[in-house]
Amino acid sequence: MNKIKSFSPTRIDLAGGTLDLWPLYNFVEKTPVTLNVAIDIFTFAEIIEREDTKVLLKSEDMNFEKLYENFQDCVEDSSPELKLLRCICREFPTQKGFELYTKSESPVGAGLGGSSSLCISIIKAFLSWQNLKMDVHEIVRLAHNIESRVLNTPTGTQDYYPPLESGILALEYSSRGIALENLDLDINEFNEKSIVVYTGKPHMSGLNNWEVVKKAVAKDAQTLSALNELNEISNSLLNSFRNNAFSDLKEHFQREFIARNRLSEVFSSPQIRELHAMVESEFSGALKICGAGGGGCVLLWIEKDQRASVIDRVKEMGFEVLDNKAFLYG
């Protein structure tokens, strides 16, 4: 029995989020840059080839499964359940029967790119099963278009690279495509000074980003100014990273928080504001909103000798601290 397993990390976006959305990266003055770090909160996919032509799809997170008589019945199903899985299956036609199992360790709506990571895990499993080759950018383009079809909203591309490459990544956007750079930084230092907190409230990344796109296309001055400020911050942070330094990260996160809230109030929430006030006033740290914000997760940046105290304080406030570290393949 042919059995294929794959897994992928999720990510924390460090700077430049929202700039990865077309056409927003065409609206800023400097080269658009996003920065990400892969983390060891994983998604999983498994394909088991069957001896008949039936297709079984099962999501452990949704606690839902469905059996189809054949591949055509699977991809023609219009029910909302398992839509992501079916849309990916459609890109890999086969006459063989198979079972596809999926699982994610990321909380729903966490802002860690969980659905994008899962999309990559499933695509990697199909590529391996069908012995197909695609480069990183081809896989990202496929995943990005699949998720846009599933969500019926514009989607960016930054979330798909960490599941494929891991480590700390810079993405530079241009009219000719995306340039990928793997940054050589001390992962251990990042792990010692960062804490990821789940606010307990899921977010809707597609809706939050769509509000920004509409305002930017309408030439709203504040939106365009905030996008340029976010890009200035990400370019500045990239320069620091190229000098192998995390020393300026606190300042960049503080600037990013202000600029992101100028971009749209939907990126914050009462829970995020509560955590932001705590880490700044009590520990002189900084907070980075993960993903499109409005809920989900945040990253707290503190001194390493404060780590235990900050974790205790976060739990005292009723929030969940996620057990994660930056991740490198191999």
Q: What is the pLDDT along the chain (330 residues), one digit of tens a residue?
A: 699 999 999 999 999 999 999 999 999 999 999 999 999 999 999 999 999 999 999 999 999 999 999 999 999 999 999 999 999 999 999 999 999 999 999 988 899 999 999 999 999 999 999 999 999 999 999 999 999 999 888 899 999 999 999 999 999 999 999 999 999 999 999 999 999 999 987 655 556 788 899 999 999 999 999 999 999 999 999 999 999 889 999 999 999 999 999 988 878 899 999 999 999 999 999 999 998 777 789 999 999 999 999 999 999 999 999 999 999 886
Q: Do 170 and 256 lie in a common domain?
A: no
d(CA 73, CA 59): 18
Q: Do 240 and 211 lie in a common domain?
A: yes
Q: Which domain holds residue 209?
A: 191-321
What are the distances in angstroms from CA 10 to CA 13, 55, 58, 167, 196? 10, 27, 21, 11, 12
User: What confidence score (pLDDT) does residue 330 get?
Assistant: 65
Domain boundary among 125, 150, 182: 182
Q: Do 145 and 241 lie in a common domain?
A: no
Q: Is residue 330 part of a domain?
A: no
Query: Could you give the number of structural domains in the chain?
Result: 2
d(CA 281, CA 276): 8
Name every residue whose Cβ is closer than 8 Å to that of residue 218 and which is 6 or more positions away in sequence. Answer: none
- Predicted structure pTM score: 0.95
Name every residue whose Cβ is closer than 8 Å to that of residue 198 and which is 6 or more positions away in sequence. Answer: 107, 110, 296, 297, 319, 320, 321, 322
Domain boundary among 155, 182, 209: 182
User: What confidence score (pLDDT) does residue 207 get?
Assistant: 63
What are the distances in angstroms from CA 278 to CA 270, 286, 314? 12, 9, 9
Displacement of CA 245 from its chain's centroid (Å)? 23
The H-or-E segment that residue 192 falls in is: helix 187-193
User: Which CATH number fits the domain that encloses residue 250?
Assistant: 3.30.70.890
Torsion angle, CA of 232/238/239/244, rounded to 10 degrees?
A: 150
DSSP 31: P
Q: Is residue 329 part of a domain?
A: no
User: What confidence score (pLDDT) does residue 302 get?
Assistant: 98
Q: Do 87 and 222 lie in a common domain?
A: no
Domain boundary among 165, 182, 199: 182
Q: Do 154 and 258 lie in a common domain?
A: no
DSSP 326: B
User: What confidence score (pLDDT) does residue 71 get?
Assistant: 98
User: What confidence score (pLDDT) does residue 294 get?
Assistant: 74
User: What confidence score (pLDDT) does residue 170 get?
Assistant: 98
Q: Is residue 78 part of a domain?
A: yes
Residue in 271, 269, 321, 327 with CA at minimum distance from that of residue 300: 321
Residue in 67, 148, 151 with CA at minimum distance from that of residue 101: 67
